[in-house]
Amino acid sequence: MTKELCECGKLAVWVYMPGYSSGCHPYSCDDCVPRGCMCNYRFVDEEDLPDGDEDKDWVWIEKDECWVNLDEKQREYPCVEFDWEPDGFEREINPHILN
């Protein structure tokens, strides 16, 4: 079967699960997926500090108040409403999505 592609032409490994009622393309490659969403922010108190190395595994959003985990390329993760499939998604025929 054919795999879904990002609008840039690369293999789509992320899909926005709620979809888009406007007909926008819900599939993204790892480079084009929007990153940095408040749903991934972690608010801390004195007993809840992040593990790992700062600026490698995590980064402060607001010093001593809010931090976020980073992926292996030191990037923020996409919103939790995106699903990830490392081998890409099988192409579906969907008339509501502009291909």
| Digit-coded pLDDT (tens) for 7-63 | 999 999 999 988 777 777 899 999 999 999 999 999 987 667 788 999 999 999 998
Q: Tell how far CA 90 is from the center of its chain.
A: 19
Rounded Cα distance between 27 and 44, Å, is 33
Instruction: List the end-to-end C-alpha distance of the chain, in Å, as a whole number.
Output: 16
Q: How is the chain split into domains, by residue range?
A: 1-34+78-99, 35-77
Q: What is the pTM of this model?
A: 0.81
Name the one residue in this structure whose structure tokens are 């030191």: 74
Cβ proximity of 85 and 15 under 8 Å: yes
pLDDT band at 98 (very low <50, low <70, confident <90, very high): low
pLDDT at 73 (0 to 100): 96
| Tokens found for residue 81 | 């409403």
Question: What single string gives the DSSP state of each residue in 33-56?
Answer: S----GGG-EE--TT-PPPS-BTT
Rounded Cα distance between 7 and 5, Å, is 6
pLDDT > 60? residue 96: no
